[in-house]
């Protein structure tokens, strides 16, 4: 499934992989429910470690980070391993995402 807007693209085309590109500035955590729904389904259906690749996500506001945390909680509830691929040259990713590992012991945050 591919969700494409003028600002961002979410590609969940592989069974255990989803990539997010662009810039996400949606107004509230609830507004992320629809674009993140294929990721949530992917985590629930994953047969191996589910990978969320945000290496090309230039910006994600606090509502988006909250929604990302909710996806991690889905993985914890489903007892699924989750890997978050980040880009350390994008300051907000390096600074803001390391604390998410406290939500789930099977979350790996991997800089690429």
Whether 14 has a pLDDT exceeding 90, the answer reads no
The pTM for the full model equals 0.95
User: What per-residue confidence (pLDDT) applies to 52?
Assistant: 98
User: What per-residue confidence (pLDDT) applies to 42?
Assistant: 96
Domain limits at 29? 2-111
Whether 48 has a pLDDT exceeding 90, the answer reads yes
How many separate domains does the chain show?
Answer: 1
Name the residue among 28, 82, 26, 15 with its Cα closest to residue 54.
Answer: 82
Average pLDDT, the chain: 95
Mean pLDDT of 57-74: 96
Judge contact between 9 and 43, C-beta under 8 A.
Answer: no
* C-alpha torsion angle, residues 86, 95, 31, 40 (rounded to 10): 40
Whether 46 has a pLDDT exceeding 90, the answer reads yes
Judge contact between 39 and 24, C-beta under 8 A.
Answer: no
Residue 63 is part of a domain; what is its CATH number?
3.30.750.24
Mean pLDDT of 33-58: 96
User: What per-residue confidence (pLDDT) applies to 13?
Assistant: 83
User: What per-residue confidence (pLDDT) applies to 15?
Assistant: 86
């Amino acid at each position: 499934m591919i969700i494409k807007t003028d600002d961002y693209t979410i590609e969940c085309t592989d069974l255990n992989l989803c990539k997010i590109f662009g810039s996400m500035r949606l107004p509230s955590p609830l507004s992320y429910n629809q674009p993140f729904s294929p990721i949530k389904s992917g985590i629930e259906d994953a047969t191996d470690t589910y990978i969320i690749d945000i290496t090309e996500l230039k910006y994600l506001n606090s509502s988006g980070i909250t929604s990302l945390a909710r996806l991690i909680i889905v993985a914890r509830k489903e007892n699924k391993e989750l890997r978050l691929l980040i880009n350390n040259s994008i300051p907000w990713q390096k600074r803001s995402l390391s604390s998410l590992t406290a939500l789930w012991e099977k979350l790996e945050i991997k800089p690429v």
